Every structure is written in C-alpha cells, then in structure tokens.
Amino acid sequence: MLFADDMGYSDLSCYGNPVIRTPNLDRMAEEGLRFTSFYAAAPVCTPSRVGLLTGRYPVRAGQPNNTGPDTHGGLRLSEILLPQVLKKRGYRTMAIGKWHLGYRPREYLPTSRGFDHYFGLPYSNDMIPPWVKTSVPLRMYRDVEPVETAGDQSTLTERYADEAVKFIRSSKDAPFFLYMPFAMPHLPVSAPAGMRGRSRAGLYGDTIETLDRAVGEVLGTLRREGLDENTMVAFCSDNGPWNDLPPRMLANGVEPWHTGTKGVLRGSKATTDEGGMRVPGILRWPGTFPARQTCLDMASTLDLFPTIAKAAGAEIPADRVYDGVDLLPLARGGGAAEPRKEFFYCRGKTLEAVRQGPWKYRNARIVRQEGAAGDPPVAELFHLDRDPAENYNVTAREPETAARLKARMEVFAKEIGADLA
C-alpha cells in the first residue's frame, strides 16, 4: 500500500499532468485499474490515515483531527488496524514512512498497532521550526526508538525505497504486507541531487518524479523476485494539494508554487471541495485484475481495508461498523456493479457534504487559511459528472435532490456523532 502525502489529483501523467513524468505509476495504471473518482477519507493527514488503516470514517473512529509533535496519545488503542487483521493470517508486516497516528507513549507507534517493524517519521516533515512552533526535534524512528534527527530531507524518499526493497526481499517466502506512506510531496518538498532540476515543473515536479522512481523500485523488486502475480499493489494520496498556503509555510525556501496542480478541481487540502479529497487511486494485481481498466464510479481509501482483508482471506472483526466496501469484484472485471453507493465528506468533526451517484450536496462554511471557517454555511448542489470542478451550483434547479441529500447527511451525522455546519 503506497500512500503519497498531499499529492494533487492531476500530479501524475496518467491523470493528465502535461509536464511531470511518472512512467512507473503510469505503467502501474496501464497494468491495472485507475479510478477517476477516488476519495481520501479526510482532507488532512491524521484522519485520512485513520480511515485508510481502520476502514472507518475518522469521526466514527474517534480521531477526526491531526496529531503533532506535542501530542500525547493518538488514534485510540481500541481501534483495529489492517495489519492486526492480516497478522492473524500469518502476514509479516512493516510500515515505512510517515506514521502520524500518535507516537508517545510507545503504545501508539506502529509496532504496537500490528506492524512487526517500522522505519520513518512519526508525523509530518514540516512539524519543526520555522514552520511549526515546537521544541520537539523531528527524529527518524527504527521500530520504537528514535535513531537520528531528521535533517536533510532530500534523500527521504530514496531511503524509504531502499527499506522497502530490503523488506520485500526478506519476506518473499511468506505472506507480507508493506505500508509505505511517503513523507512527500507534503511541504517542504525536496529531491536528491541526482533528481533536482530534471522536471519542467520545478522542484515540485522533481519531488513527484523521485516518488515515481521509488514506486518503480518497489514494482521492479516484485518482478525480479517472482512476486508480481501474487501481490496486490495500491497507490493513492492522503488528500489534495496544499494550495493557498498559510504565511507560516513561506519560509526556508518554500514557495507558493511548491504544491500540486491547480485549477483542475475546486479547492485543496483541508477543504471538502473535490480538490481536497478526490485523489489518484490505482490498483494493480497482474493475472487477477485485468489491465487497462478505468473506473468512473466512486471508491475510497476506506475501501482498501475490506478489499485487502478479503484478498488475504482474513476475517474482519464483527464487533464494529465499517464504512469501506470490497472492491475485488469490480477490480476483477466482468462488469461488476458500482460497489460504493455514497460517500461522506468530513472536515474535522463536521460533516459537510455527501455524494450519491453524480450528485454532491455540500453545506459548509468558507474555509480560511489554516482551516478556520467563517461566514454562514452555503448550500451547494453539483452534478459531478457534468461539472467535476464544482463551478455550477444547481440547488435552485434541483430542490428535491438537494433536500434528499441534506436529509441523508442529517441522519448519518447522528449515526457517527458528527456536527453539521
């Protein structure tokens, strides 16, 4: 499971970027299934990871907001994560990259949440001065111990790829689960010396192309080790690009254009606009998933939990409600019906929108910098097949549809304990 950080919907060649070259992810999409309406569980880092690893909306799982370097605790320990389910099937597990679900006390680290081993950063790469006011140094962890201070970040992606290759090679004779949440392209972006200046999209493009090369290392290792047809690989992002940067981020060389592709979808990270939560989504499993598939229907990071568990023959706990759906029938081809009938967009603990089929109803306040909201909420209705950029509010023309979706939001908000704007 390969998980980018703050990658925009159109940052990859196979999603329409005109200048960023991503041959490995393009080939992954060509060899499998590419989603055009794939949604992150939340528009910011921590809750998005909650949804991915629990298969539950973050509000339902009790962690709708970000953690940070000064946080004690994190995602509640009663939540069951995907690697815990897989370990019961004999899987060897490792997390490589950004964790961001709590790191102190150590019970919140990956090695207490179903992962045999961990290497990476416990939270976002910008959570250090001058971008964040904290006295806690950003450290790289190996299992439960900090092993070095994270200084130069330009080699992070390469180091993660090296760790992934080692893990795959050492695990090839038994079932394994690799979770690889990259640190980038979350700001501050950087790239190793050999990749700098190669992309026509500047440093941001260099960062994406470095990530693509890391994906190529993973896929190439699977091929060389003879694991290609026995391994499902998923790629997606935790939320949309961090456009409209807060002033605190414009320091130490960070520029406003060091973020994802703009103008394709409305909004960005930290919003429930399409640009905040619709992300690239690719599934690949040669011999099981037919190649050259493009799915226009809804799917979500929430769906990867039940999909992977089902593929592994693992039993999903029956003592809690899950919000993901099994994508295997769809991915295997054969004209399976749309698996996901609706998707809910939450920002923090607030439920702001719902999508059913092509219709999206949103009732939200305008988001200011750093996620603060002001002004009265605005009711909007969009037909996302005709208007994916959310340019045309048709609430007045479709009042019955708007009323139906609003009522559905009210019911679901009560079910999961969410607020409404």
Amino acid identity of residue 269, one-letter, is: K
Identify whether 346 is a catalytic site residue: no
Question: Do 310 and 398 fall within a single domain?
Answer: no
Spatial separation of the C-alpha atoms in residues 310 and 19, rounded to whole Å: 38
Question: Do 307 and 347 fall within a single domain?
Answer: no
Question: Do 241 and 363 fall within a single domain?
Answer: no
Stated length of the chain: 421
**Lowest model confidence (mean pLDDT) among 89-98, 326-335, 353-362:** 326-335
Amino acid identity of residue 215, one-letter, is: V
pLDDT above 90 (res 375): no
Question: Do 276 and 395 fall within a single domain?
Answer: no
The pLDDT confidence band at residue 369, using thresholds 50, 70 and 90, is low
Spatial separation of the C-alpha atoms in residues 77 and 75, rounded to whole Å: 6
Spatial separation of the C-alpha atoms in residues 41 and 50, rounded to whole Å: 8
Identify whether 45 is a catalytic site residue: yes
Spatial separation of the C-alpha atoms in residues 398 and 347, rounded to whole Å: 25
Kindly report the CATH number assigned to the domain that includes residue 117: 3.40.720.10
Spatial separation of the C-alpha atoms in residues 42 and 180, rounded to whole Å: 18
Active-site residue among 14, 100, 186, 295?
Answer: 100
Q: Write the CB contacts of 47 (distance below 8 Å, at least 6 apart in sequence).
A: 41, 58, 63, 64, 65, 66, 346, 348
Range of the domain at 378: 342-420
Phi, psi of 172, deg, nearest 5: -65, -20
Spatial separation of the C-alpha atoms in residues 84 and 372, rounded to whole Å: 36
pLDDT above 60 (res 89): yes
pTM beyond 0.85: the answer is yes
Active-site residue among 45, 236, 295, 346?
Answer: 45
Q: What is the pLDDT of residues 48-77, one digit of tens each?
A: 999 999 999 999 999 999 999 999 999 999
Kindly report the CATH number assigned to the domain that includes residue 398: 3.30.1120.10
Question: Do 262 and 410 fall within a single domain?
Answer: no
Q: Write the CB contacts of 51 (distance below 8 Å, at least 6 apart in sequence).
A: 40, 41, 42, 57, 58, 61, 300, 301, 302, 323
Using the structure block, give the residue that is written with the tokens 């254009």.
Answer: 257
Contact 65, 116 (CB under 8 A): no
Question: Do 35 and 136 fall within a single domain?
Answer: yes
The pLDDT confidence band at residue 368, using thresholds 50, 70 and 90, is low
pLDDT mean across residues, the chain: 96
Q: What is the pLDDT of residues 290-342, one digit of tens each?
A: 999 999 999 999 999 999 999 999 999 999 999 999 999 999 997 777 889 99
Question: Do 402 and 268 fall within a single domain?
Answer: no
| Packing angle of the helix pair 304-311, 45-54 (nearest 10 deg) | 30
